[in-house]
Amino acid sequence: MSDDLHDLYQDIILDHNKRPRHYGALADYTHTAEGYNPICGDKITVYLVVRDGRIEAVQFEAACCAICKSSASIMTEALLGKSLQEAAAMQQRVTELLSTDIEVDLSVDGEVAALAGVRKFPARIKCATLPWHTYQTALKWECET
Ligand code: ZN
């Protein structure tokens, strides 16, 4: 990864931390879950509206570090409008980006690629994966209607 590219990834992370997208509780959600990372103290709640197998809305609230908040913000942008299959593939890709040395490509992975920068800091990987795991947990939750 060139230094320029690395700076670009860092810019994306910082920008999402400063201006998190889709932040706040979502009324009328169909799925929700809370996630907690005891290593860092990150707490996050993910809200989803899933209809006909598609993610129509996704928002989050968090009391967490910059990496966790950025990852959650990037996740909401990445998942919005996706089918559950596409979202599962995206989640798989993020796990790969964070846990292996595979090449990343902004043109293929979009802003999710920026998360690969976190793998240089192994202690923070759980901060980056927490929102994605919480999303997965939320899918298993069904509200009583
Ligand atoms: Zn953290």
Residue 116's closest CA among 103, 133, 134, 132?
103
List, for residues 24-46, the tens digit of each pLDDT value.
999 999 999 999 999 999 999 99
Residue 39 C-alpha to ligand 1 middle, in angstroms? Answer: 8
3-state secondary structure of 102: coil
Residues of the chain with pLDDT > 90, as a percent, come to 74
What is d(CA 34, CA 51) in angstroms, rounded to the nearest whole number? 21
What is d(CA 103, CA 96) in angstroms, rounded to the nearest whole number? 10
Residues 6+ apart with CB under 8 A from 119: 97, 98, 99, 101, 125
Residue 86 C-alpha to ligand 1 middle, in angstroms? Answer: 26
The domain ranges of the chain are 3-140
pLDDT confidence tier of residue 121, bands split at 50, 70 and 90: confident
Residue 141 C-alpha to ligand 1 middle, in angstroms? Answer: 24
Q: Which residues surround ligand 1, an ion (CB under 5 A)?
A: 40, 42, 65, 68, 127
3-state secondary structure of 88: helix
Residues of the chain with pLDDT > 70, as a percent, come to 94
Residue 143 C-alpha to ligand 1 middle, in angstroms? Answer: 28
What is d(CA 112, CA 5) in angstroms, rounded to the nearest whole number? 14
Residue 144 C-alpha to ligand 1 middle, in angstroms? Answer: 32
pLDDT confidence tier of residue 106, bands split at 50, 70 and 90: confident
Residue 37 C-alpha to ligand 1 middle, in angstroms? Answer: 7
Higher per-residue confidence, 107 vs 138: 138
What is d(CA 129, CA 113) in angstroms, rounded to the nearest whole number? 13
List, for residues 48-70, the tens digit of each pLDDT value.
999 999 999 999 999 999 999 99
What is d(CA 31, CA 50) in angstroms, rounded to the nearest whole number? 7
- CATH architecture of the region 3-140: Alpha-Beta Complex (3.90)
Residue 72 C-alpha to ligand 1 middle, in angstroms? Answer: 11
- DSSP assignment of 62-101: EE--HHHHHHHHHHHHHHTT-BHHHHHHHHHHHHHHHHS-
